[in-house]
Amino acid sequence: SIVNAKLLNIEGNRVLVAKGTHKEIGEAHGILLKNQINSLVDGVLYVVGWYYTIEEKKWFLSEMSNAYKRLEPFIPQKYQDEMMGLAETSGISLREIRLANVFPAMFHCSGFAVFGDATVDGTLYHGRVLDYMTEIGLQYNAVVFILHPTGSNAFANISYAGFIGSVSGMNDKQVSFGEMGGGGVGDWDGMPMPLLVREGLESSNTLEAALKLFETTARTCEYYYVIADGKINDARALATTPEKFEIVTPGGTHPRLPSPVKDAVLISAGDRYKKLVERVKEEYGKIDLEKAIRLMDRPVSMKSNLHNVLFVPKKAEFWVANAGQGTEACKEHYTKYNLTELLKLLEK
């Protein structure tokens, strides 16, 4: 363990708790997860890169470099510092760390929030399904980050060694975020999606503040989000592109989300969306923790189901399942974490 940082093992899962400046957090991340970061960067930049290059007939690393050049002006200095710290201690070049951190912007997923009349006792459950290339073994480098950067909210980020951004997270103000990819890859003039979510965790104390942040920040590509707030038992879905910012309220409609359900926001695509709606309607008013977890089972999650998370923001609790060797995350054990308890370790 190093100053202000510890690597824990909870039921066989890696949990990194750290506080300090962004640079210090990056340095701790690089020291404590060096092997996992090396494995992830190789898998992402070289294994995925090879598939991409063959499929798309475009050289992956130069595509990523071009994306990064356009994204860079929109990346706040504190996150640049964190990547620098990470590169310095992990022994991986800053260029590779930066390019690997563009990669999660390609993730595709499903998400939901159910509360009020939809659940047994009104509890808000926010679930998110991450589906992406389990073949490259990202799941072996899975990490739950519990971070408290100087001057920011403390938060949990369910991620992978070497990534500093977030696609699934919850902060100590009971605000939780889950992202789902759409299309529009190539519109890179804005803040990278994983860093926008991370900024939401760090700076948003309320659902309203999060919506404002996402609306006023220069955005990239096409993404959908579910953002929930346990303090007010409410959630919104967002449909965004660089030009477009649409808020979908619980029970509200959107051309891509045609089947509204009261006290619920449900996001997925095609048949997975239909199945998610069907499950929520079937269990309506009876959804408890276990049923909320089961909403994420196949076929709502895909064969490439990499991780699933269920947030209960009001209680600062969350459950995580990661893909195994050849098994989807939804078929694996869900481990329970408590953000408040884990943050206490930083006070000791």
- Distance, CA of 9 to CA of 24 (rounded, Å): 21
Helix (H) or strand (E) holding 100: helix 94-100
CA 14: distance to chain centroid? 16
Q: Which residues pair with 5 in a beta bridge?
A: 2, 18
Write down the number of H helices and E strands in the chain: 11, 15
| Class of the CATH-defined domain 5-344 | alpha beta
Structure confidence at residue 136 (pLDDT): 86
Structure confidence at residue 102 (pLDDT): 87
Mean pLDDT per segment of 10 residues, for the chain of length 348 residues? 86 98 98 97 89 84 92 98 98 97 79 98 97 88 98 98 97 97 82 97 99 98 96 98 97 93 95 97 99 98 95 99 96 99 92
Structure confidence at residue 201 (pLDDT): 99
Domain layout of the chain by residue ranges = 5-344
- Distance, CA of 177 to CA of 193 (rounded, Å): 12
CB-based contact 145:328 (threshold 8 Å): no
CB-based contact 130:308 (threshold 8 Å): yes
Structure confidence at residue 148 (pLDDT): 98
pTM: 0.96
- Distance, CA of 318 to CA of 285 (rounded, Å): 21
Amino acid letter, 183: G
Cβ partners under 8 Å of residue 59, min gap 6: 53
Structure confidence at residue 83 (pLDDT): 98
- Distance, CA of 154 to CA of 147 (rounded, Å): 6
- Distance, CA of 144 to CA of 343 (rounded, Å): 13
